[in-house]
Amino acid sequence: MAVWALGINHNTAPLDLRGRFAFALDQIAPTLHGLRDSVGARLGRQPEAAILSTCNRTEIYCAGAQHEIDTTVEWLAHSGGVNAGLLRSHAYTLQDAGVARHAFRVASGLDSMVLGEAQILGQLKDAVRVADEAGALGTTLNQLFQRSFAVAKEVRTSTEIGAHSISMSAAAVRLAGQLFEDLSKVRVLFVGAGEMIELAATHFAAKSPKSIAIANRTLERGEKLATRFGGEVMRLADLPARLHEFDIVVSSTASQLPIIGLGAVERALKARKHRPMFMVDLAVPRDIEPEVKALEDVYLYTVDDLAHVVQTGHANRQAAVAQAEAIIDAGVQSFVHWMDQRGAVPLIQQLNSQADEWRAAELARARKLLARGEDVDAVLEALSRGLTQKMLHGAMAELRTGDAEARQRAQQAIEHFFLRKER
């Protein structure tokens, strides 16, 4: 079984390119079907597959009879509407042990923009769950991901890799505090009601802002979040008319197109008499049109703009990284050993089948003898002798061959498998 992976992340691809390959969780199942059909046409059967898509990365993991990296690249490029050559220039491809190492590093937070962050593990578990529900996982990828979860757990409990890590949300609060002297006097609007917004709202709510509002496409989920933080809920459709009321806007939705345009922000600034606005776009693809950043009284930050802030304390965690890498190395070796063993499974199955045939034949013979009234001890003796002769027949035949070299090989094998006293 071959294992391969293809991905782009915050280190290899710009935000707008990543946005072309961002899949919402409810899009992944149908996307997996398309991927498996495309690659399966080359392999002759559908491969195992899983897709991990976050604001910082989109990664495809596959397992099949042979590596089909080129086919996978072409499929992903087509799905994002870009040239395959352009995608290759920003992508990384991995095989076998390299896939395991990467998956283990991702799960452990070592490949994240925020070193040691824990959110990625939950996102990976969600991706695996969706792939499993879609019928896209098999023994190989399931083993890979279960081992990645175990490695991540060991890294968390055995090292301080997550100590003092700064999340995107904490970084946003820090930057907002540099613009506004007193965050208790500002009005904050959160656009969306997903996990990223929940994290951001938790951090901003700790600063006790003057007011909090949640704008979401469905009011029910928005109301739950608003109630938790003592805020109000509003419809997404009301956003353009009320944007001017807020000093801070944090957005993270699954929209494929920007929902806050340049014109809406310009009108809001005019209504605010050009009092500054702090805006954070945590979405991939973007929620806020990039042209907004050029406006004089707007401070707009994307996930990539926050990169230098979240790296604070990076040097303090390098010792923990070395410990984590050692744990990952051991995990990779274990997975590779498991993969190697999988290659012997057909032979093991054949051996078990042959042994079952011998056993069944001798049992049938013994039952006939007992039914005829033969002595039980004699039947058992014949049973054991018959099994022994069947098991040793091949070895004995090799020892009697006229080929000296073949006899030597047989002798070594027999000594190894049958005559070793210590295992």
- 123 labeled part of a ligand binding site: yes
352 is in an annotated binding site: no
Find out whether 386 is annotated in a ligand binding site.
no
Is 55 a catalytic site residue?
yes
Catalytic residue among 55, 60, 144, 303: 55
Any binding-site annotation on 384? no
Please indicate if the annotation marks 193 as binding a ligand: yes
- The 10 Å Cβ neighbour count of residue 384 is 12
Q: Is 119 annotated as ligand-binding?
A: yes
Q: Kind of pairing, strands 57-64 and 48-53?
A: antiparallel
Answer yes or no: is 196 a known binding residue. Answer: yes
Give the other-Cβ count within 10 Å of 160's Cβ.
Answer: 15
Answer yes or no: is 192 a known binding residue.
yes
Helices (H), 159-238: 168-179, 195-205, 219-228
Q: Is 98 annotated as a binding residue?
A: no
373 marked as binding residue = no
- The single-letter DSSP state of residue 260 is B
1: nearest Cα among 334, 340, 329, 335: 340
Structure tokens at 186: 């500002």
Query: What is the spatial distance between Cα 246 and Cα 243, in angstroms, rounded to a whole number?
Result: 6
**β-sheet with 211-216: strand ranges across:** 232-235, 211-216, 187-191, 248-251, 277-281, 298-302
Is residue 112 annotated as involved in ligand binding?
yes
Place of tokens 């529900």: 133
Q: Strand, helix or coil at 391?
A: helix
The dihedral formed by the CA atoms of 221, 226, 227 and 233, expressed in degrees to the nearest 10: -80
Angle at which helix 25-43 crosses helix 119-133, to 10 degrees, equals 60
Residues contributing to the annotated binding site for NADP(+): 192-197
Catalytic residues: 55
Residues contributing to the annotated binding site: 54-57, 112, 117-119, 123, 192-197
Residues contributing to the annotated binding site for substrate: 54-57, 112, 117-119, 123
